[in-house]
Amino acid sequence: MPSPADFNASASSAPVSAARAPVRVIAVASGKGGVGKTSVSVNLAMSLVHAGQRTLLLDTDLGLANVDVMLGLSPQFTLADVFAGRCELQDTLLEGPRGLWVVPAASGKRHMTELLPQQHIGLVNAFCQLDLPLDAMVVDNAAGISDSVLTFCQAAQDVIVVVCDEPASVTDAYALIKVLSRERGVTRVQVLANQVNNTIEGKQLFEKLERVSARFLDVTLHYLGAIPRDEWLRRAIQRQEAVVEAFPGCPSALAFRDIARRANSWQSPAGPRGGVEFFMERLVAHSAGGGAASTNDPLRSAVA
């Protein structure tokens, strides 16, 4: 398995076009599994594509990945092959519907859940070498508060936490937000209510989470919206398609398009924050006015 330094060396030696704009990276996470997080990631990514955004969907559920399954794709290589040294990150790219790019992870590979923290950082840094004209990347995380989830959320500009109307979902979402805030310095979180019966229920879920977070955490929560419980969404999953593609006029598809419109209105990153970030080289070049990337990259220092 390549070391973090191996990832770092390949990333730092890759050419980066000064003309490339920063990539908006959105991490989708949840405290509890089974809340529809991957469905949110897939449909958000496809909605961004529909809105004209050149988008990459990255599956970082390193042990139980299923983004490729949900889109009916058959990868030749996954992130497990990258870590085993059988291919480069570029080789894992799959072209999905309407030109959506997908980087698949592996399913049933227990060793992938046991990667070192430095290897998670190395994977983030490896994205500097991807020579793709991208506007946005959606990162589908594993459920819970593992190091991989925390690192990939920290490396994104925006974090969406998905909750549903179950007590354990709200409790675990709060636990995730608490760890992100206290251990990784994440100060802003978007909350998406999923599988709700109506908009009132979605807003009430957010307010439960916001009350306790405002009392105990130094973090700002924003209500991103709600995805309704929808039979058409279930049918789309069975067909291995995004609902925004299979049934574009159904309630859940319309809700996902609205979420994507809101995400498009978020302020683009002006430059690096000084920590672990995806596409760091592009952020550095952008903040320098299109000049050469700084050699004092804190990400490189982290994995040296």
The answer, yes or no, to whether residue 55 has pLDDT greater than 80, is yes
Q: What is the pLDDT of residues 172-192, one digit of tens each?
A: 999 999 999 999 999 999 999
Instruction: Name the CATH code of domain 4-11+21-55+112-299 (choices 3.40.50.720, 3.40.50.620, 3.40.50.2000, 3.40.50.300).
Output: 3.40.50.300
pLDDT at site 289: 65
Of 44 and 16, more confident: 44
pLDDT tens digits for range 138-151:
999 999 999 999 99
- For 9-37, b/e burial (b = at least 16 CB within 10 A) is bbbbebebeeebbbbbbbbbbbbbbebbb
Distance CA 49, CA 150 (A): 26
Q: Considering all CA atoms of the chain, what is the largest pairwise distance in Å, rounded to the nearest integer? A: 52
Q: Mean of the pLDDT values across residues 266-281?
A: 81
Rounded to the nearest integer, the mean pLDDT of the chain is: 87
Entry pTM? 0.87
Q: What angle do CA 33, 36, 38 make, to 5 degrees?
A: 90
If you average pLDDT over residues 90-104, what whole number do you get? 96
Task: Quickly state the pLDDT bin for 292 (edges 50, 70, 90).
Answer: very low
Q: Which pLDDT score is estimated for 131?
A: 86
First to last CA, the chain: 17
Q: Judge whether 252 and 233 are in contact, CB under 8 Å.
A: yes
